[in-house]
Amino acid sequence: MQHLQIIAAQWVAPKIDYFALAPEIVVVVGLCAVLLLDLFIDQRKQWLLTIVSSFTLLAAMLPVLMLGLSETSVRSMFDGRYVVDDFSLVIKGLFLLAGYVVVLLSSSHVEQGEYWRGEYWFLLLTSLLGMLMMASSRDLVSIFVALEFLSIPAYMLAAWRKRDAKSNEAGVKYFLLGVFASAVMLYGMSLMYGVANSTLLVDIAKTLTTTGDFAAVHALAVVFVIVGFAFKVSAVPFHTWAPDTYEGAPTPVTAFLSVASKAAGFVALVVLIYTAFPASQDVWQPFIWVLSALTMTVGNVLALKQHNIVRMIAYSSISQGGFVLMPLAVAGMAGSENSALRSVVLYMIVYAATNLGVFAVILAVSAKTRSGEISSFGGLFSYAPSLGVLMTLFLASLAGIPPLGGWIAKFVAFQSLLQSQSNWGYALAIIGAVNSVVAFGYYGNVMREIWMRPPPDGDVTPIVAPGSLRLALTLTSALTLVFGILPSVGLRFADLAEIAGAITR
Amino acid sequence: MFVNQFLFLAAVLFCIGVYGVIARKNAVLMLMSIELILNSVNINLLAFAMRNGSTDGHTFALYIIAVAAAEVGVGLGLVLLVYRNKKTISVDELSEMRG
């Protein structure tokens, strides 16, 4: 008891930098506004909530831009537990933009089926707030709180269609596995705290090693924490929830989960690897190597035999996750530590733009065909040429064909592997290259339907996509093209100084 | 103070919890097993906090208790939703989607 009183006496109120917290504050205000408006406006004026949510996200981008342009490059609060640096600003911009596109995708979709729309926007904004926090967290407690903050609303979003058995199933599966994973992760975190006597990542880095009396405990802690986030990024063998949840959840929610929620998992992994685990690379490097190789291969092989387009994209996004993990497997080796960070950030940005585009096309097409089968894309080019061309563009970018965004992202990832100049790196590069070719099998299958097959039911009325979907398609296709044709634009954002607080090796 | 006994208790609880999540088919019992894991984490944190003489462990444990309550709230809500639609809470019968 004595030491508690001593510590309590030393306590000083922390200084809070409200400018650095401005993006989060804007989102908090916006989600409270949505919650209150939902109570007072009647059902016919629900479109107001859509407007409020989209403007909240746009307004939150302003402080992110201002912070990015300001002179101070690192703003650290609470003894370095909450840090706003270039890395977190780029990631926050990515989350806000992805969130804005998801709002555009959702706006016409949520009107179907008389569900309570206010809940949808509130949960979406809350989950985004958790992601913004995740980008700045540099402490075990804040990482845990941010993870739950972004996951719990996501469980509810997946089950949002309350009367639909598939949506229920999606929510329950996601919930049970997600909570289990975070419990395992917490056990690892408790061991980490035990050996380091601090929850601050920078302090943990000083004590976490692979030699000494506690080597086994350290290794266990690192593995458990990585397992927790492997669930979040649906890395094989922790991917079993992903296909069912992606298929059962409302399609815009699937877009959100497969892009933003997945990116949040990667952000946490990157922060942990660079700031907390630098001295224990003997443990996490082989582990991530195996995860990455398995994720790419299993995701691809299972995607080949899918008939449902959303389920196929689910497996494709699992395998794309393997490509994001790929450079992390050599992140601890001299020569590729900077390029691995650059590659992960660039891959996440490009993948977000491309995958959201794919979902925008799927939403536009399925609104007409009322089907989730890949064969429902038959003859798309003949009656909706622009959608056909855009889908081809996005799929080609996912497959990594130049001159599209996906190509430069893959190029940088392979470059990082080769820079490690180790056999591990070369071997993983070969596995990755084989998988890029295999992936073309299922992407090409959809392209063949679009360009060469006749429409399955002979219905050739053109598709009129709502304005919000068209805006989303314009944004995502422009980004996919720009990143590919002008790689320097994407690299400008991805070329970061080291994460603030990271220990230089 | 012997920290080992607490850590051993926590490890046993953790293993029982993991076994429960994998072996049980009833959604509510799976939730209870997850709670066991979370409580083993709390015991771990408090034992380490005692050994290290810092308060970080206490703070962390308080956060875990609060978040676990929120999680169970959502979890039971989801289980109730499934029960209303399917009249069962066995996770084996959640098999609308395959492949």
What ipTM was predicted for this assembly? 0.94
The identity of residue A288, as a single letter, is I
Q: Which of A172, A191, A243 sits opposite B82 (nearest CB)?
A: A172
Query: Which H or E run includes A402?
Result: none
* Nearest Cα residue to A337 out of A415, A420, A277: A420
User: Would you state the pLDDT for residue B45?
Assistant: 92
**How far A245 CA sits from the closest chain B CA (Å)?**
9
CA of A64: how far to CAs of A23, A58, A134, B7, B33, in Å?
6, 10, 15, 44, 41
Query: Which H or E run includes A53?
Result: helix A47-69
Q: Is the pLDDT of residue B98 over 70?
A: no
User: Would you state the pLDDT for residue A394?
Assistant: 92
With contacts defined as CB-CB under 8 Å, which chain A residues touch B56? 141, 193, 197-199
With contacts defined as CB-CB under 8 Å, which chain A residues touch B14? 187
What residue spans define the domains of chain B? 3-92
User: Would you state the pLDDT for residue A405?
Assistant: 87
CB distance from B32 to chain A under 8 Å? Answer: no
With contacts defined as CB-CB under 8 Å, which chain A residues touch B54? 7, 197-198
> Half-sphere exposure of residue A283, counting CA atoms within 13 Å on the CB side?
23
Q: Is the dihedral of CA B65, A95, A127, A327 positive or negative?
A: negative
d(CA A150, CA A260): 10
Q: Quick one: pLDDT band at residue B92, thresholds 50, 70, 90?
A: confident
Q: Which of B38, B70, B78 sits opposite A175 (nearest CB)?
A: B78
Q: Is B74–A152 a contact, with Cβ atoms under 8 angstroms apart?
A: yes
Please return the burial class of A333, using the count of CB atoms within 10 Å of its CB with bins 0-12, 13-18 and 19+: buried
Please return the burial class of B32, using the count of CB atoms within 10 Å of its CB with bins 0-12, 13-18 and 19+: middle
User: Would you state the pLDDT for residue A148?
Assistant: 93
Residue A355's CB is within 10 A of a number of other CB atoms, namely 26
CB distance from B64 to chain A under 8 Å? Answer: yes
With contacts defined as CB-CB under 8 Å, which chain B residues touch A193? 45, 48, 56-57, 60
**How far A165 CA sits from the closest chain B CA (Å)?**
6
Residue of A nearest to B37 (CA): A183
With contacts defined as CB-CB under 8 Å, which chain A residues touch B53? 3
Query: Which H or E run includes A431?
Result: helix A423-452
* Residue indicated by tokens 């959100």: A256
The answer to whether A336 and A419 have CB atoms below 8 angstroms apart is yes
User: Would you state the pLDDT for residue A146?
Assistant: 94
Class of domain B3-92: mainly alpha
Q: Quick one: pLDDT band at residue B12, thresholds 50, 70, 90?
A: very high
What is the pTM for the complete model shown?
Answer: 0.92
Q: Is B21–A176 a contact, with Cβ atoms under 8 angstroms apart?
A: yes
A265 or B52, greater pLDDT: A265
Task: Render the burial of A83-101: b for 16+ CB within 10 Å, e for the rest.
Answer: bbbbbbbbbbbbbbbbbbb
d(CA B81, CA A372): 25
Q: Is A183–B17 a contact, with Cβ atoms under 8 angstroms apart?
A: yes
Task: Render the burial of A462-496: b for 16+ CB within 10 Å, e for the rest.
Answer: ebebbebbebbbebbbebbbebbeebebbeebbbb
Please return the burial class of B98, using the count of CB atoms within 10 Å of its CB with bins 0-12, 13-18 and 19+: exposed
Q: Is A156–B55 a contact, with Cβ atoms under 8 angstroms apart?
A: no
User: Would you state the pLDDT for residue A503?
Assistant: 44
Q: Which of A148, A163, A186 sits opposite B41 (nearest CB)?
A: A186
The answer to whether A342 and A416 have CB atoms below 8 angstroms apart is yes
With contacts defined as CB-CB under 8 Å, which chain A residues touch B59? 141
- Mutation pick from A161, A176, A223, A306 vs chain B, by most beta carbons of B within 10 Å, is A176
The answer to whether A215 and A209 have CB atoms below 8 angstroms apart is yes
> Half-sphere exposure of residue A480, counting CA atoms within 13 Å on the CB side?
29
B46 or A487, greater pLDDT: B46
With contacts defined as CB-CB under 8 Å, which chain B residues touch A168? 78, 81-82, 85-86
Task: Render the burial of A211-249: b for 16+ CB within 10 Å, e for the rest.
Answer: eeebbebbbbbbbbbbbbbbbbbbbbebbebbbbbbbbb
Residue of B nearest to A180 (CA): B34
d(CA A256, CA B22): 28
User: Would you state the pLDDT for residue A366?
Assistant: 86
Residue A251's CB is within 10 A of a number of other CB atoms, namely 22
Report mean pLDDT in 10-residue bins for chain A, 505 residues.
74 83 93 90 82 92 88 80 87 93 89 79 94 92 93 93 87 92 93 88 81 81 92 89 90 92 92 84 88 92 90 92 90 79 89 93 86 84 88 91 87 88 89 91 89 81 84 91 83 66 46
Q: Which of B38, B70, B91 sits opposite A152 (nearest CB)?
A: B70
d(CA A427, CA A434): 11
CA of A392: how far to CAs of A64, A278, A339, A448, B27, in Å?
33, 41, 30, 10, 42
User: Would you state the pLDDT for residue B76?
Assistant: 93
DSSP 8-state secondary structure symbol assigned to residue A309: H
